[in-house]
């Protein structure tokens, strides 16, 4: 699977910001999909003593949450670690992993931000626009914005707002467990994104897409270290 939009990754910080500003208007915040049967999760791990990154993508049956396909890739990072520009560091290695998939996902869930981003173009938006696929950002932490206290029961949420604009939702996926930060990536409304995150979190705080991708990337990283 290859992206429908391509651009150079060998760019400066200022050029990356300009590119975000150019691509952000392409984000669709409405439900533009027919059906979702395959949902993918992506994750990236960094080597402690080098710029090598390992990416994993795990495809699940959207109804049973069983793993149907996985792929990994390694890549030497060329873009610095800059808040708000993580997609330029992580997407190149994710592209290599996604290219190995035999099937096309109907939805990609990212461990990070989508619209809840200073320029409204986090990693989930970037990946979604590149592939023109429905995507959701589901982060463990808040990048920006304010919200009211979320009630403690599973399924409760409060809107995340920045400058009086709703940029996402703070969602309680398990009762009395810390919430997650959900935002639109592409071709999906915020209410639908919230519903999908709840479907993907039957037992744990984080979506099964994120959990299984994280497990795979850690396993791949350990195997790589064992071979050295």
pLDDT tens-digit map of 8-30: 999 999 999 999 999 999 999 99
Reduce the DSSP state of residue 72 to 3 states and report it: strand
Confidence class for position 48, pLDDT limits 50, 70, 90: low
- What is the per-residue pLDDT for 225? 59
Distances from the Cα of 146 to the Cα of 120, 175, 179, 180, angstroms: 15, 21, 14, 14
Go through 164-201 and write b for each residue having 16 or more CB atoms within 10 A of its CB, e for each that does not.
Answer: eebbbbbbbbbeeeebbbbbbbbbbebebbbebbbebb
Confidence class for position 209, pLDDT limits 50, 70, 90: very high
Q: Go through the domains of the chain in sequence order and give each one's CATH number.
A: 31-227 (3.30.2170.10)
> Smallest Cα–Cα separation from 39: which of 92, 88, 104, 94?
104
H/E element, 86? helix 86-98
Interacting residues of 159 by C-beta distance below 8 A, sequence separation 6+? 147, 166, 168, 169, 170
pLDDT tens digits, one per residue of 59-74: 999 999 999 999 999 9
**107-110 and 135-139 beta bridge pairing:** parallel
Lowest mean pLDDT among 11-20, 71-80, 152-161, 181-190: 71-80
**How confident is the model over 83-89, as a mean pLDDT?**
94
Q: Which residue has the higher pLDDT, 137 or 223?
A: 137
**135-139 and 157-162 beta bridge pairing:** unpaired
H/E element, 216? helix 208-227
* pTM assigned to the model: 0.94
Residue 6 pLDDT > 60, yes or no?
Answer: yes
């Amino acid at each position: 699977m290859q992206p429908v939009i391509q651009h150079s990754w060998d760019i400066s910080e200022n050029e990356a910001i300009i590119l975000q500003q150019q691509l952000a208007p392409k984000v669709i915040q409405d439900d533009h999909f027919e059906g979702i049967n395959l949902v993918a999760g992506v994750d990236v791990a960094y080597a402690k003593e080098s710029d090598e990154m390992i990416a994993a993508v795990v495809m699940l049956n959207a109804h049973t949450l069983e793993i149907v396909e996985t792929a990994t890739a390694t890549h030497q990072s060329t873009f610095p670690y800059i808040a708000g520009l993580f997609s330029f560091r992580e997407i190149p290695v994710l592209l290599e992993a996604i290219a190995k998939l035999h099937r096309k996902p109907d939805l990609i869930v990212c461990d990070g931000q989508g619209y809840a981003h200073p320029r409204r173009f986090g990693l989930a938006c970037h990946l979604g626009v590149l592939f023109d696929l429905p995507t959701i950002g589901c982060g463990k932490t808040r990048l920006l914005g304010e919200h009211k206290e979320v009630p403690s029961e599973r399924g409760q949420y409060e809107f995340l707002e920045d400058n009086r604009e709703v940029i996402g939702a703070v969602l309680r996926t398990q009762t009395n467990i810390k919430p997650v930060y959900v935002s639109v990536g592409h071709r999906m409304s915020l209410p639908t994104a919230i519903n999908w995150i709840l479907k993907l979190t039957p037992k744990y705080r984080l979506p099964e897409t994120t959990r299984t991708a994280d497990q795979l990337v850690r396993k791949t990283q350990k195997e790589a270290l064992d071979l050295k």
